[in-house]
């Protein structure tokens, strides 16, 4: 059942802008004034990487670097959306503004967001201090669209204090969000079976904050203890990872979670905004380069590759050694 | 909170063999006779890629190509382990032998398998027709160890009829198992929230069989319908993906799942064994090459990369275009 990776898209010229290119600075001013239609228009142009994108991004430059980007990831059933909503509510009560990028791992075949009609975050929709944009994930087993990085810039440039990047913890999504966010929040919950522990052990390496949501349920304390035990293994690492128990439904622990975000946010802010942005862009480039190399190996000169493959199969070389030969050409 | 990827391991010579290299053919004969200590010894040498590995793999060549490799993946809470156990039981009642590779996504820091002590599959341990090997996943956010491909060969060479590759559906694990297995079974369950639908939409592209486990629970029918609806989107694809309802606890649907595995297995067997094995090796090489490229970009010449990163950030080039420039040198 060999199903090849979808081929990388052919290069296409930038799609035409839907905004008036002569009025970019006016549009940015309206967006910074909080006009929702202007925010939406800028995000859409950047998402499409239209012909207006370079001018918009240039006009945004002086306004970038204020927002913190917090990634929320975790397995299905951890109550991620409800938790994110509770965090938004807490931030809004403090008068802080929030941009939300909700990543829908949609089918690359359908092209659209299967979850488009879910009725979450309806409360937020009436609030000018919150702006939500759904974003389809791309291609093979998900993966964050490069557009996310530009939408982060748009929300940052619009003046939002914090951008929440919410994604289902699966496949490439999880890896990408870990790389793109300034702060990584990993969410779990009791009652998801012993796999949850396995899952967390991989995520332990990258979490800045661990949350046990549904903390009012039986087994929450046990899940906390397992996590703390697993974290003690990385005791040699200097930065201590907070493990917080929350209940998004009754609000327990939400204030503590926001405080933990702020504590880490203060450290993050010491890194210049340009270097945080360049880190995101370098990751996108690295990811694209990896995809290109993988595609070349899958499609490329079969006979020499078969020789290397046979070497790996016969134990005379490791995949790393074969890969080096491929890259050397 | 920039945490760099762990550096790739330095090249090391093959570790010394723990078996007598003069007796390789005798060891293979004992393994093929069903002697468990011999099977275990061969697997261990191949897992370690010891100095004995090339001789062992060469001695195995005439015996390879019989086993089907079925990957089982799904989110925490889907009841994956229980389902795999029920499948093993069904296969054993038919007199068929089963190798199991259980991937533990262990911490790259601890190096060991955090779940090492879980007490599953105890029934299988007293049965000579079943052989279970746990395998730590490697490095960053999981990912299948290249050793899995060699262990598949060992189990195939030992004469097992089917090899089950079981992994938690998260991060790189999920992607790797999809590429390495001959048949991909994606497991879900009711009651995991609306994220489960999102998760499946990504996995739809690669599943050969979809299973709704815990089929006796409320909501199972609804989950089935959602899946069928989502699958109807890929109606243009000729191969029909079966959606099966199972209850691993009371045995419902297990026979149908095994029948579906056999149906697809017959198609898979038409592909020559050597090309299935080379496909696995090519994937390992592609993955290693991607990691190498990513590592070079992360560590490499900062100033030219920053120029490309700024191009991506300013919208004047896409990550794909920047990646092409990087690969061109």
In this predicted model, what pLDDT tens digit does every residue of A134-187 receive, in sequence order?
887 665 455 677 888 899 999 999 999 999 998 766 556 667 777 889 999 988
pLDDT beyond 80 at B277: yes
B43 and B77 co-located in one domain? no
Mean per-residue pLDDT, A47-68: 91
User: Do B236 and B296 sit in the same domain of this protein?
Assistant: no
Task: In whole angstroms, give the CA distance from residue A283 to residue A63.
Answer: 23
Contact between B69 and B183 (Cβ < 8 Å): yes
B72 with B179, same domain? yes
Residue A99 resides in a domain: yes
Least confident range of A92-96, A237-241, B266-270: A237-241
Here the ipTM equals 0.71
Coil, strand or helix at A130: strand
Q: Which of A45-49, A121-125, A222-226 has the highest mean pLDDT?
A: A45-49
**What CA–CA distance (Å, rounded) separates A209 from A186?**
6
Mean pLDDT of the region A34-48:
94
pLDDT of residue B327: 78
Partner A contacted by B202 (CB < 8 A): yes
Angle at B176 between CA B172 and CA B179, to 5 degrees: 150
Check residue A63 and give its pLDDT: 94
Residue A297 in any domain: the answer is yes
- Looking at the domain assignment, is residue A307 inside a domain? yes
- Answer yes or no: do B167 and B293 share one domain: no
- For residue A164, the model assigns a pLDDT of 95
A105 vs B298, more confident: B298
Q: Is the pLDDT of residue A17 over 90?
A: yes
Residue B163 has pLDDT above 70, yes or no: yes
- Residue B210 phi, psi dihedral angles, 5° rounding: -110, 135
- Does residue A100 lie in a domain region? yes
Identify whether residues B74 and B205 lie together within a single domain: yes
Does the beta-carbon distance from A294 to B286 stay under 8 Å? yes
User: Do B161 and B28 fall into the same domain?
Assistant: no
How many folded domains does chain B comprise?
A: 3
Give the CA distances from residue A180 to residues A103, B65, B95, in Å, rounded to whole numbers and listed in that order. 13, 42, 50
- B122 has pLDDT over 70: no
A289–B contact, CB cutoff 8 A: yes
Give the count of Cβ contacts less than 8 A between chain A and B. 347
Q: Which residues of A touch B176 (CB under 8 A)?
A: none
Distance from CA of A84 to the nearest CA of B (A): 14
Boundary-marking domain end, from B63, B82, B100: B63
- Least confident residue range of A83-92, A147-156, B177-186, B192-201: B192-201
Which of A243 and A78 is assigned the larger pLDDT?
A243
Whether residue A243 is contained in a domain is answered as: yes
- pLDDT reported for residue A42: 96
Q: What is the pLDDT of residue B146?
A: 80
- Alpha-carbon span A286 to B307, nearest angstrom: 14
Q: Is residue B165 a contact partner of residue B70, using CB atoms and an 8 Å limit?
A: yes
Tell me which chain A residues have a C-beta less than 8 angstroms from the C-beta of B199: 76, 105, 168, 170
Co-location of B209 and B294 in the same domain: no
**Residue B60 scores a pLDDT above 50:** yes
Claim to verify: residue B82 and residue B132 sit in the same structural domain: yes
Q: Residue A100 sits in a domain of what CATH number?
A: 3.40.50.300
Write the pLDDT tens digit of every residue in B73-114.
877 778 888 899 999 999 999 999 999 998 765 433 333 333
Q: Could you say which of B63, B78, B93 is where a domain stops?
A: B63
Least confident of A40-49, B5-14, B56-65, B264-273: B5-14
Q: Is there a single domain that holds both residue B148 and residue B161?
A: yes
Q: Considering only CB atoms, which chain B residues are within 8 Å of A324? A: 292
Q: Does B67 touch chain A (CB under 8 A)?
A: no
Residues A237 and A293 reside in one and the same domain: no
Mutation target among A14, A58, A63, A77 for the B interface, most CBs of B within 10 A: A77
Q: Could you say which of B141, B282, B322 has the minimum Cβ distance to residue A309?
A: B282
Span A279-292, average pLDDT: 83
Residue B5 inside a domain? The answer is no
What was the pLDDT predicted at B14? 84
Residues B57 and B73 in one domain: no
Q: Is residue A110 over pLDDT 50?
A: no
Cα angle value B138/A242/A276 (rounded, 5°): 70
**pLDDT for position A119:** 36
Q: State the Cα–Cα distance between residues A55 and A316, nearest whole angstrom.
A: 54
Q: Answer whether A116 touches B (CB < 8 Å).
A: no
Mean of the per-residue pLDDT values of chain A? 80
Both B293 and B199 in one domain: the answer is no
| Beta carbons of B218 and B251 less than 8 angstroms apart | no
| Residue B321 belongs to domain spanning | 286-328
Q: Which residue of A has its CA nearest to B268?
A: A1
Q: Is the pLDDT of residue A231 over 80?
A: no
User: Do the domain assignments include residue B280?
Assistant: no
Interface mutation target, options B58, B177, B189, B282, chain A, most CBs of A under 10 Å:
B282
Residue (of B198, B73, B321) closest to A291 by Cα position = B321
Mean pLDDT of B308-320: 85
- Contact: A174, B175; criterion CB under 8 Å: no
Assess if residue B281 is contained within a domain: no
Q: How far apart are CA A195 and CA B6, in angstroms?
A: 24
Task: Give yes or no for B49 touching A (CB within 8 A).
Answer: yes
């Amino acid at each position: 059942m060999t199903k090849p990776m979808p081929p990388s898209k052919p290069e296409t010229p930038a799609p035409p802008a839907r905004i008036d290119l002569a009025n970019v600075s006016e549009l940015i001013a309206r967006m910074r004034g909080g006009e929702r239609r202007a925010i939406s228009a800028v995000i859409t142009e950047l998402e499409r990487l239209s012909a207006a994108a370079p001018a918009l991004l240039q006009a945004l430059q002086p306004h970038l670097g204020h927002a913190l980007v917090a990634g929320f990831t975790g397995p299905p059933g951890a109550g991620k959306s409800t938790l994110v909503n509770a965090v938004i509510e807490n931030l809004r009560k403090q008068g802080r503004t929030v941009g939300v990028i909700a990543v829908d791992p949609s089918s690359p075949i359908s092209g659209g967001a299967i979850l488009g009609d879910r009725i979450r975050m309806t409360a937020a929709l009436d609030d000018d201090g919150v702006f939500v944009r759904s974003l389809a994930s791309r291609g093979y087993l998900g993966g964050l669209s490069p557009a996310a990085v530009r939408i982060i810039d748009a929300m940052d440039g619009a003046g939002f204090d914090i951008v929440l990047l919410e994604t289902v913890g699966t496949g490439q999504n999880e890896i990408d969000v870990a790389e793109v966010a300034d702060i990584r929040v990993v969410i779990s919950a009791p009652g998801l079976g012993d796999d949850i522990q396995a899952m967390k052990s991989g995520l332990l390496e990258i979490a800045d904050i661990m949350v046990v949501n549904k903390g009012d349920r039986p087994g929450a304390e046990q899940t906390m203890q397992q996590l703390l035990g697993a974290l003690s293994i990385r005791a040699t690492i200097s930065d201590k990872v907070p493990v917080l128990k929350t209940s998004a439904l009754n609000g327990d622990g939400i204030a503590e979670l926001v405080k933990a975000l702020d504590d880490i946010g203060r450290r993050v802010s010491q890194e210049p905004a340009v270097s945080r942005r360049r880190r995101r862009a370098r990751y996108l480039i690295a990811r694209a380069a990896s995809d290109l190399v993988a595609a070349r190996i899958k499609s490329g000169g079969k006979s020499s590759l078969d020789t290397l493959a046979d070497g790996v199969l016969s134990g005379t070389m490791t995949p790393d050694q074969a890969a080096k030969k491929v890259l050397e050409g």
